[in-house]
């Protein structure tokens, strides 16, 4: 099967890693797979660019698509023409811009699939597709009325996320104490609720004084979070690990006892929770996106008391996350179902 993923983003963030892992898993099953990304926006100093990552993985599509929301009408028209000329069996669109390009440019005989990665894309103007994916089970019903196959696309997990062989030794290598480590591993932005995390950690220390908070990431609210930590007298008990990526990020994650995920960004598949579970790190999470399916302990409401209650519960989920191969096979089955003549 010849599969073209459309990802109108220049960033290696949000759904990009999930798309890359899906494409790799599909390729490992014997299919021809490439990923087209935004080739226009290059001034993206604040985030890691996607193009080098997809090039390194051998997945970057070189079919001439600009695929940018910043494209003027004539570039958009050029993308439509370039896509129509492609010899592919599946066009899998991941963002709204991709879906619009695919709506008018899908080659004859190919099926058009749309992945919705966040609820804000679920609106009445959503263009038609032969099948859809959503990031969490509770969103499936919102697309049932379109009378097209709808399936959950879970978070895929890179093989580097595995339990540590020696967590104490790893902590020593990272220069952090061998104590009860709680982590938050996300961009410092309002939706991630770092302020709540700091306040909940202050309350947790009343019951677990040996606890330490590790904050991995950067972002607009980093300095505000530092100020809050200082104001609460927690400076000596909080580690700001900075932005980490690849194997370094995996090391910091594996060093934790539990991770608090108190909000999601633009990818509701909750990939960070799946990564943590793969590293045998306990997940304490709010009820957003796919988090309820991946959490060991659920935070019933975004309050200090609810976070502390979930953290202190010690609960562990029994469910296992599907492998990348199984997820890829399920999505390939969706493609085949979408290609069947409608009755």
Do 134 and 184 fall within a single domain?
A: no
Q: Quick one: pLDDT at residue 126?
A: 85
Question: Do 237 and 123 belong together in one domain?
Answer: no
Judgement on whether residues 304 and 327 belong to the same structural domain of the protein: no
Asked if residue 143 and residue 19 are part of one domain, the reply reads yes
Residue 293 inside a domain? The answer is yes
- pLDDT at residue number 343: 46
DSSP assignment, residue 297?
E
Packing angle of the helix pair 194-204, 222-231 (nearest 10 deg): 20
In a shared domain, residues 126 and 176: no
Residues 173 and 130 in one domain: no
- 251 lies in the same domain as 332: no
Contact 282, 257 (CB under 8 A): yes
Is the distance from CB of 189 to CB of 219 less than 8 angstroms? Answer: yes
Same domain for 251 and 289, yes or no, is yes
The reported pLDDT for the residue numbered 44 is 64
Strands (E), 186-340: 212-216, 238-242, 258-261, 282-286, 297-299
Structure tokens at 148: 């097209």
pLDDT score recorded for residue 154: 95
Question: Per-10-residue mean pLDDT for the chain, 343 residues long?
Answer: 96 91 98 96 74 96 94 94 97 95 95 92 85 92 85 95 95 94 95 97 97 95 97 97 93 97 90 95 95 94 97 91 96 95 60
Instruction: Give ∠ CA 253-257-258 in degrees, rounded to 5.
Output: 80
Domain membership of residue 318 (yes or no) is no
In this structure, are strands 90-93 and 111-115 parallel, antiparallel, or unpaired?
A: parallel
Q: What b-and-e string marks burial along 17-41, b requiring 16 or more CB atoms within 10 Å of the CB?
A: bbbbbbbbbbbeeebebbbbbbbeb
| 234: containing domain | 167-313
Q: What is the CATH number of the domain that holds 150?
A: 3.40.50.2000
State the Cα–Cα distance between residues 3 and 89, nearest whole angstrom: 6
**Inside any domain, residue 77:** yes
Do 176 and 282 share a domain, yes or no? yes
Residues 137 and 203 in one domain: no
Q: Do 111 and 335 touch, CB atoms closer than 8 A?
A: yes
Number of domains in the chain: 2
> Would you state the structure tokens that stand for residue 323, as one six-digit string?
């492998």
Q: Is residue 162 part of a domain?
A: no
């Amino acid at each position: 099967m010849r599969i073209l993923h459309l990802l109108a983003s220049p960033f290696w963030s949000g759904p990009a890693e999930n798309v890359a892992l899906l494409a790799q898993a599909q390729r490992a099953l014997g299919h021809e797979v490439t990923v087209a990304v935004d080739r226009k926006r290059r001034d993206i100093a604040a985030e890691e660019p996607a193009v080098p990552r997809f090039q390194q993985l051998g997945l970057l599509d070189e079919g001439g698509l600009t695929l940018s929301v910043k494209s003027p009408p004539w570039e958009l028209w050029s993308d439509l023409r370039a896509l129509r000329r492609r010899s592919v069996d599946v066009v899998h669109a991941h963002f709204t811009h991709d879906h619009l390009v695919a709506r008018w440019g899908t080659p004859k005989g190919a099926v058009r699939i749309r992945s919705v990665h966040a609820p804000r894309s679920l609106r009445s103007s959503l263009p038609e597709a032969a099948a859809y994916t959503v990031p969490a089970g509770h969103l499936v019903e919102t697309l049932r009325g379109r009378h097209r196959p709808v399936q959950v696309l879970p978070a895929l997990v890179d093989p580097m996320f595995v339990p540590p062989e020696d967590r104490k030794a790893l902590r020593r290598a990272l220069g952090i104490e061998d104590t009860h480590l709680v982590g938050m591993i996300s961009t410092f932005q309002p939706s991630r609720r770092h302020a709540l995390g700091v306040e909940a950690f202050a309350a947790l220390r009343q019951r677990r004084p040996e606890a330490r908070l590790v904050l991995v990431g950067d972002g607009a609210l980093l300095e505000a979070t530092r100020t809050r930590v200082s104001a609460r007298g927690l400076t000596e008990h909080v580690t700001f690990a900075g932005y980490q990526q690849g194997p370094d990020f995996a090391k910091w994650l594996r060093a934790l006892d539990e991770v608090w995920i108190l909000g999601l960004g633009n990818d509701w598949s909750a990939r960070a929770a799946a990564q943590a579970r793969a590293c045998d790190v306990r997940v304490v999470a709010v009820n957003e996106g796919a988090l309820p399916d991946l959490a060991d302990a659920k935070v019933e409401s975004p309050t200090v008391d609810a976070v502390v209650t979930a953290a202190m519960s010690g609960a562990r989920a029994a469910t296992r996350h599907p492998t990348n191969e199984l997820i890829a096979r399920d999505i390939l089955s969706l493609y085949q179902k979408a290609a069947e003549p409608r009755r």
